[in-house]
Structure 1
């Protein structure tokens, strides 16, 4: 059996958000961490993710959205553990030219991830261009899934249910 750990972005997903719906319809899935809402503090989120991964020897599939992808990339750069795969959904672009804030104080780790990864890319994401998604996929050694014109794949972009996401998770667990 494979654990599903849900890694939220910087905000608290609304009840209709696909990640929240996943949590509600998959009782075996666990938040890592439970959606705390802003502010997003990388070290706190990464520590909570590490605790969730380390809590069990059973392999985990990480299902991350937006800033949750930062948590996963930072965790993978600093730790090892029983992670089978990751679905990285619309990671925000963080590069040398990105304005810095307390929440995003450094660049996104770009090392190859030590587990199978799928990066979900949007053609119309307000935080990341399609070529930036392609670069993340290349750097992380990930497969790239072109989701089309889906904005940030969040509630404001019209995503409650997201059947493609469930199918992608199934490919990571088979």
Structure 2
């Protein structure tokens, strides 16, 4: 069996968010919790993800949104652990005011990820241009999925239920 860990963005997802929809479809899926809502404190995010991954040796698929993509990419520099793959949705070009106020925002890592990845990007994401997302997909060795005109894939953009996510997770979970 493959477990699924949901890695949220800057804030925990709203009740109608697609990550919450995924969690509601399978009670075994759990969200990685972080301590400081609204602020990205790199060390806290990496510690929370590492702790969630370390809870089990079971193969894991990470499903990250927005700043959660940064967390996954930074964590991956230390090796794959039991991670089978990652679905990275709408990664951001991060800048102030997302920092913790005590340190600068880390750049998105440039190296190939140590596990298979799918990067799903929007053509109308106000947080990262599609061409930049394609560039990061190539650098990370990730398959690029063009989501079309879906904004930043938030509840305000209409996501909610997102059946394609289930298909992409299934592909990553396959041995």
Report the TM-score when normalising by structure 2.
0.91
The CA distance in 1 between the partners of 2:2 and 2:119, in whole Å, is 20
Q: Does 1:150 align with 2:150?
A: yes
CA contact (8 A) 2:62 2:83 kept: yes
CA contact (8 A) 1:12 1:36 kept: no
Residue 99 of structure 2 is matched in structure 1 by: 102
From the superposition, tell whether residues 92 and 32 of structure 1 become closer, same or farther in structure 2 (CA, over 3 Å): same
| Deviation, structure 1 residue 56 | 1.0
CA contact (8 A) 1:13 1:20 kept: yes
Residue 56 of structure 2 is matched in structure 1 by: 56
Residue 156 of structure 2 aligns to a residue whose secondary structure is helix
The CA distance in 1 between the partners of 2:34 and 2:169, in whole Å, is 20
CA contact (8 A) 1:100 1:106 kept: no
Residue 114 of structure 2 is matched in structure 1 by: 114
Unaligned runs of 5+ in 1: none
Residue 83 of structure 1 is matched in structure 2 by: 83
- Can you list the C-alpha shifts for 1:60-82, whole angstroms capped at 9, x where unaligned? 00000000001101101134410
Over 2 Å off, 4+ runs = 33-37, 98-104
What root-mean-square deviation, in Å, do the aligned CA atoms of Structure 1 and Structure 2 show? 1.7
| Deviation, structure 1 residue 152 | 0.3
Report the TM-score when normalising by structure 1.
0.92
Residue 129 of structure 1 is matched in structure 2 by: 129
Unaligned runs of 5+ in 2: none
The CA distance in 2 between the partners of 1:43 and 1:34, in whole Å, is 10
Residue 155 of structure 1 aligns to a residue whose secondary structure is coil
- Can you list the C-alpha shifts for 1:11-35, whole angstroms capped at 9, x where unaligned? 1211100001111221010112268
The CA distance in 1 between the partners of 2:83 and 2:19, in whole Å, is 19
